Amino acid sequence: MSMFRLSITTICPPPLDCSTAGGFVTFEGKVRTQNEGRPVEFLEYEAFEEMAEAEGRDLLQEAKDRFELEWVEAVHRVGKLAIGETAVWIGCAAAHRREAFLACEFLIDELKHRLPIWKKEHYSDGPSEWVNLQSASNTKQLTPSELAARQIVLPEVGPAGQEALSRARVVVVGAGGLAATILPYLAGAGIGTLGIVEPDVLEASNLHRQILFGHADLGRSKARLAAEFLHRLHPHIKTVAYEERLTAENAPRILSEFDIVVDGTDSLEAKFALNDACQALSRPLVQASIYQFEGYVQTILPGGPCLRCLWPEAPAEGCVGTCAQAGVLGVTPGFFGLLQANEVLKLILGFGEVLSERQLLVDLRDGSMERLRRTRRKGCSCASSKPWAGVSKALNWEVDSEQVHRWTEPFVCLDLREEDEPDGQIELGQVAWIRTPLSRFEPANALVPGQRTLLVCATGGRSGVLALRLREENNPEAYSLKGGLKAISDPIVVTGADESCLPIKDSQ
Amino acid sequence: MRIAVRYFAALREQRGISSEELETDAVTTAALFAELRSRHRFSLNEIQVRFAVNGEYVGAEHTLREGDEVVFVPPVAGG
């Protein structure tokens, strides 16, 4: 249970009440002796209590979902605080430490932004004003759908596509010139989780093409810098920075955490290693390689055609020039990175034609393009790879009544409305209508494996969330009635318990 | 016969032009590449380069025909 509360007295950190967590991270915000060079005597916090508590609870729940926390609690002080007192306490527990650390940092940033709490600093050298922490943060809290407004109107995206994007997990290997456009455009599109694998620190020679970074960042970890940039761009995405080189040993651990892998590396060895790892793990690999003003992009799906269909053995590293040796303009990797981001969006949203059977070659000097057909090579090891499970399991989980009427296979309706909500069924062609209040829903009891199930509720909210969760738990036959029972115009209502339509059980 | 040739990446750099039309007696893609390699002193050999004819990757022993468009693609790794 996520708990947020305001406290008028000294904060006593609640004990961790969770035995399934392996990592427990706490944060304490303290009152210190000075602020912006002025000596502080004491602080006062005032909150719009009801709103702050509601917003705090929502935020904790959001962090719990996003970082898969096992346990989270937070306490914010109100009233008069002396130097050294704790103003805010946050505790996050997760299966592993990384999520706990990330969630804790996310929460303190967001608490300051979102909670209607005012602070007054009392200085020993004069008075001060109340400062709203929200306005002090200078960041308007934007919802994911506000940020995606211009793409949701595309029929290829829509609310379902946007939801699929927010659930997608994409890792970019190499935070160089290709990643400089791959990462921001994927973050901008609202990809839920972005991984960055990069062992290097920023060097001056990177800056002309790696435009996520600034000259003041020289010497810092590029993986972390990229993650910081992406959070500034999109506050809702989760980033995971791996400050290590991808190897055959760590590839399964890292890549299996993601749905799609994007190749931003600059060596043949790395490109072949990624090809092999992605085939073994059944992950699509979006690849690009450049040379001065030219390059190619292709998407390698599990089962091929893969890189080894064309090059059974990796060519010797010395036979190709790297950017360091051959030189490159910043725009070249930027251009090909954009094409890679586009491939990722096509894979998730399912529009257009992914460049899996064709490789796209572009020469930026004259704008000429060639699409070269690639085929599977007989006997190539990729033939034995399992097909990609896809993020598509999160797609098309919402159906409207017209689609349901076209279903030919038998299905049952699970009515998730609670007992205190209206009763009554709607005729959609189901073989059974079962009242299963969400508060008592148990997948093992409610679902028959392989049986198509349409979840319904009043407005489609609860059923949509549950359907997505069930899809992720490998129930591909779980659907949600879009817009719920309210959305059905001209319904054929079967009120009450008509035994002939209710072969299994009534609401209990 | 007359063939249109396009050079990609390092090959373009070594040839000095992106594309050309030429007369050749070479029967296969690999033979055509060997001919051009000795003429222009390409650093890469027939085994290191891939061949596409009329928009499709083909093998080294693919038979050429009048009017074919051939692309020579060396390995590329920058990023």
Could you report the per-residue pLDDT of A254-281, keeping only the tens digit for each?
898 899 999 999 999 999 999 999 999 9
Pair (A306, A411) in one structural domain: no
Q: Which residues of chain A are within 8 Å of residue B9 when distances are taken between CB atoms?
A: 291-292, 294, 320
**Min CA distance, B59 vs chain A (Å)?**
9
Task: Give the tokens for residue A183.
Answer: 């990462």
By residue range, what is the domain housing residue A81?
3-137
- Residue A128's pLDDT band (cuts 50, 70, 90): low
- Same domain as A451, residue A366: no
Asked if residue A65 has pLDDT above 70, the reply is yes
Instruction: Report how far residue A215's alpha carbon sits from residue A181's, in angstroms, rounded to the nearest whole number.
Output: 18
> pLDDT at residue A294 above 70?
yes
Does A86 share its domain with A176?
Answer: no
In a domain, A508, yes or no: no
Spell out which residues of chain B touch residue A323, defining contact as CB-CB under 8 Å: 78-79
Using CA atoms, how far residue B74 sits from A210, A335, A459, B42, in Å, is 26, 20, 57, 11
Amino acid identity at A374: R
How far does Cα A332 stand from its chain's mean position?
A: 28
What is d(CA A238, CA A193) in angstroms, rounded to the nearest whole number? 5
Query: In this complex, do A290 and B43 lie within 8 Å of one another by their Cβ atoms?
Result: no
ipTM of the complex: 0.92
The CA distances from residue A238 to A231, A413, A473, in Å, are 8, 35, 21
In words, the CATH class of domain B2-73 is alpha beta
* Mean pLDDT of the A3-11 span: 91
Q: What average pLDDT does the segment A100-105 reach?
A: 92
A412-430 as b/e: b if 16+ CB within 10 A? bbbbbbeeeeeeebbebeb
Residue A226 has pLDDT above 70, yes or no: yes
Q: Is a pLDDT exceeding 70 seen at residue A124?
A: yes
The 10s digit of each residue's pLDDT in A24-46 is 999 999 998 887 677 888 888 88
Task: List C-alpha distances in Å: A122 to A118, A126, A131.
Answer: 13, 7, 12
Residue A299 has pLDDT above 80, yes or no: yes
Using alpha carbons only, what angle is made at residue A250 by residues A255 and A193, rounded to the nearest 5 degrees? 30
**Is the residue at A330 inside a domain?**
yes
A454-467 pLDDT tens trace: 999 988 878 887 88
| Helix runs in chain B, H state only | 10-15, 29-40
**Cα separation of A226 and A455, whole Å?**
40
Mean pLDDT over residues A114-123, rounded? Answer: 79
Lookup: tokens for A448: 């028959």
Residue A202 per-residue DSSP state? P
All residues at 6 or more sequence positions from B16 whose CB lies less than 8 Å from its CB, including other chains: none
> Is residue A401 included in any domain, yes or no?
yes
Name the pLDDT band for A504 (thresholds 50, 70, 90): very low
Same domain? A378 vs A359: yes
Per-residue pLDDT, A22: 93
pLDDT tier, A491 (very low <50, low <70, confident <90, very high otherwise): low
The answer to whether the bond into A312 is cis (omega within 30° of 0) is no
Separation of alpha carbons A268 and A271, rounded Å: 5
Token output for A361 = 């070659």
Distance (Å, whole) CA A402 – CA A381: 44
Considering the domain architecture, whether residues A425 and A315 belong to the same structural domain is answered as no
- pLDDT averaged over every residue in chain A: 86
- Answer yes or no: is A113 within a domain: yes
Q: What pLDDT, on a 0 to 100 scale, did the predictor assign at position A35?
A: 76
Question: Looking at this protein, which amino acid is placed at residue A152?
Answer: I
Domain end call among A391, A408, A439: A391
pLDDT of residue A425: 86
Tell me the pLDDT tens digit for each residue of A134-163: 544 444 567 777 888 889 888 888 877 888
Q: How far is CA B57 from CA A105, A109, A268, A359, in A?
A: 50, 52, 20, 10
Residues A110 and A161 in one domain: no
Using the 3D structure, point to which of A356, A376, A391 is the last residue of a domain: A391
> Do the beta carbons of residue A31 and residue A79 sit within 8 Å?
no
Q: Is the pLDDT of residue A410 over 80?
A: yes
Give a yes or no: residue A419 inside a domain. Answer: yes
Question: Using the beta-carbon criterion (under 8 Å), do A320 and B74 form an inter-chain contact?
Answer: yes
pLDDT at A508: 35
pLDDT band at A500 (very low <50, low <70, confident <90, very high): very low
Residue A201 DSSP one-character state: B
Domain ranges for chain B: 2-73
Q: Which residue of A265, A292, A366 is in closest CB contact with B79?
A: A265
CATH number, domain of A318, equals 3.40.50.720
Q: Which of B53, B57, B58 has the highest number of chain A CBs within 10 A, making it the mutation to test binding with A?
A: B57
Does residue A85 sit in the same domain as residue A51?
yes
Q: Which residues of chain A does B60 touch, with a Cβ-Cβ cutoff of 8 Å?
A: none
Q: What is the rounded distance in angstroms from the CA atom of residue A402 to the CA atom of residue A488?
A: 9
* A164 confidence band (pLDDT: 50, 70, 90): confident
Tokens 């992950």 sit on residue: A283
- Inside any domain, residue A507: no
* Domain shared by A181 and A281, yes or no: yes
Q: Whole-angstrom distance between the N-terminal and C-terminal Cα of chain A?
A: 26
Percent share of chain A, pLDDT over 70:
90
Confirm if A172 and A179 have CB atoms less than 8 A apart: yes
- Name the nearest CA neighbour of A404 among A415, A412, A395: A412
Pairing type for strands A398-399 and A285-291 reads unpaired
B78 contacts on A by Cβ (under 8 Å)? 266, 289-292, 295, 320-323, 326, 328, 333
Output the domain CATH number for residue A129.
3.90.1170.40
Distance CA A11, CA A175 (A): 42
Q: What is the number of structural domains in chain A?
A: 3
pLDDT of residue A133 exceeding 70, the answer is no
Indicate whether A93 belongs to any domain. yes
Do A350 and A407 belong to one domain?
no
> Which H or E element spans position A281?
helix A268-281
Mean pLDDT value across chain B: 94
pLDDT in tens, A429-480: 999 999 999 998 988 888 888 889 999 998 887 888 788 778 767 787 899 9
**Strand, helix or coil at A494?**
strand
Residue A458 burial (CB count, 10 A): 18
Looking at the structure, do residues A307 and A204 belong to the same domain, yes or no? yes
* Domain's final residue, options A391, A426, A457: A391
Residues A386, A456: one domain? no
Judge whether A506 lies within some domain: no
Contacts of A189 (CB under 8 A, 6+ apart): A148, A151, A165, A341, A345
| Residue A486, amino acid | K
Q: Which residue has the tokens 């005597």?
A: A41
pLDDT digits (tens, 9 = 90+) for A341-379: 999 999 999 889 999 999 999 999 999 999 999 999 999
A338 and A432 in a single domain? The answer is: no
Q: How far apart, in whole angstroms, are the C-alpha atoms of residue A231 and residue A239?
A: 8
CB A42 within 8 A of CB A127: no
Lowest mean pLDDT among A61-70, A201-210, B18-27: A61-70
